[in-house]
């Protein structure tokens, strides 16, 4: 059994609080032709290094009906900077063009099989997974970036094409699982190999 959601599988439901004061479930985005769910956080250098590229991608595809949802599942016992209060402050400062949700129980991260921050999951109109993995090849230092896999996938998908590179390895910090060493990953999570 794979840890990470497999291509073609349905998006798992969720009900999570967001930094805007509202609570959201998967059904709230039913009108979006494409949904990008990505696991992110406040502190990770791979997130911090690539958030502006992610912003540009989200803004580029907004008028094509693509909705971005960021989810922070990291344990605050491991990384206090990933608390909900710090999430609210980060969004107030950065004004990112996505909703930022808190997965305190980590149940949503487990249902999606989030491996790292950032880890992107792209779903089509039927909410079937059509792309999963990294955003770019050098998220920590986007000046060295040579490919934006997320942008490529969204361009193909919103142009009515199938996604040519549908699976990549996410690049970033491990999700910080509560009660585990910060570098720990489930054994079955070490299966996303190209």
Rounded Cα distance, 121 and 106, in Å: 16
As a whole number, mean pLDDT of residues 6-20 equals 97
* pLDDT attached to residue 181: 82
Domains and CATH numbers, the chain: 9-189 (3.40.30.10)
Q: What confidence tens digit (pLDDT) does each residue in 128-176 have? A: 999 999 999 999 999 999 999 999 999 999 999 999 999 999 999 999 9
5-44 core/surface letters (b: 16 or more CB in 10 A; e: else):
beeebebbebebbbbeeeebebeebeebebbbbbbbbbbb
Position 3 confidence tier, pLDDT thresholds 50, 70, 90: confident
pTM: 0.95
Q: What confidence tens digit (pLDDT) does each residue in 71-121 have? A: 999 999 999 999 999 999 999 999 999 999 999 999 999 999 999 999 999
């Amino acid at each position: 059994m794979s840890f990470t959601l497999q291509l073609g599988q349905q998006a798992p439901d969720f009900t999570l609080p967001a930094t805007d004061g509202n609570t959201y479930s998967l059904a709230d985005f039913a009108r979006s032709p494409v949904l990008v769910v990505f696991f992110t956080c406040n502190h990770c250098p791979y997130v911090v290094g690539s958030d502006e590229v992610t912003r540009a991608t989200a803004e580029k595809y907004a008028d094509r009906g693509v909705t971005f949802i960021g989810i922070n599942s990291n344990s605050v016992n491991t990384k206090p900077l990933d608390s909900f209060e710090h999430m609210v402050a980060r969004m107030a400062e950065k004004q990112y063009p996505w909703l930022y949700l808190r997965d305190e129980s980590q149940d949503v991260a487990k249902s999606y099989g989030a491996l790292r921050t950032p880890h992107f999951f792209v779903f089509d109109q039927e909410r079937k997974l059509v792309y999963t993995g990294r955003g770019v090849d050098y998220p920590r230092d986007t000046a060295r970036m040579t490919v934006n896999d997320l942008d490529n996938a969204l361009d193909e998908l919103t142009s009515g094409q199938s996604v040519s590179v549908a699976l990549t390895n996410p690049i970033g910090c491990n999700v910080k699982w509560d009660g585990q060493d910060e570098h720990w990953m489930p054994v079955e999570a070490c299966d996303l190999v190209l």
